[in-house]
Amino acid sequence: MLLAEELLLLGLDPVRGTVVNNGRQQLLVCLSGALVGELALAGSVQLSGRRFVAVGPAPEHPLLARVHALLAEPTSRRAAGQLRRLDKAVGGVWPRLVDGLVEQEVLGRRPDRMLFWTITRHPVLQPATRQEPLERVRLAATGDNGLEGRTAVLLALTGPARLLEVVAPERADRKHARRRIATAAELTPVAPVVKKVIAEMQAAAAASATVAATSVATTS
């Protein structure tokens, strides 16, 4: 299973089939980061200066191969710009990951008609498939042992994905979990890039809201 698929499973309420903490936009950025992180673990991507650079042959998995090809293109973009571009360039990280998990019957697909719109829920159909990465990341978050590479990437990305309450359901464990997430981020070059992209996204949204509020106040 891809790291991005594991992160997606952690980010979904397994019964409701929706993203926890209303953090879909943050999770989406982190899913792109998880794809890059997986390539980095395999030695197929390196952070060279301020850019991600693809090295070696393309991986077999089609989604990872597409990300590898994109990072191999000559570009003046820095790492944050490369990461922002991935979602659109691969045809949507969310649908590609979700469709794969639905095909594997790990996730369901259930349209739910609301008053004025329809949302699609993705309940977890194979709880054991979600439980394995969940237990692994919870053990890493609450423990003090060294962090294995894949678990470090996964744990590091739970922070910007707003999954602290998933990783550490007991309030008493959360301070320690935050420290462990920070430690994992230091071991994971893609994690600071993900945080930068999310911070820029939130700043842009706040600026737009301020402009809109000012416009309303001026015309009132």
State pTM to two decimals. 0.90
Residue (of 53, 28, 33, 12) closest to 194 by Cα position: 33
Domains contained in the chain, CATH given? 3-204 (1.10.3630.10)
**Partner residues linked to 113 by β-bridges:** 118
Q: Are 89 and 115 in contact (CB under 8 A)?
A: no
**Strand pairing of 110-113 and 51-54?**
unpaired
Residue 3: both structure tokens together: 């790291």
pLDDT confidence bin for 71, thresholds 50/70/90: very high
pLDDT confidence bin for 115, thresholds 50/70/90: confident
Q: What is the DSSP string of 77-130?
A: --HHHHHHHHHHHTT-HHHHHHHHHHHTTSB--EEEE-SS-EEEE--BS-HHHH
Q: Are 18 and 120 in contact (CB under 8 A)?
A: no
pLDDT tops 50 at residue 212: no
pLDDT of residue 219: 56
Q: What is the pLDDT of residues 123-156, one digit of tens each?
A: 999 999 999 999 999 999 999 999 999 999 999 9
Q: What is the pLDDT of residues 76-113, one digit of tens each?
A: 788 899 999 999 999 999 999 999 999 999 999 998 88
pLDDT confidence bin for 210, thresholds 50/70/90: low
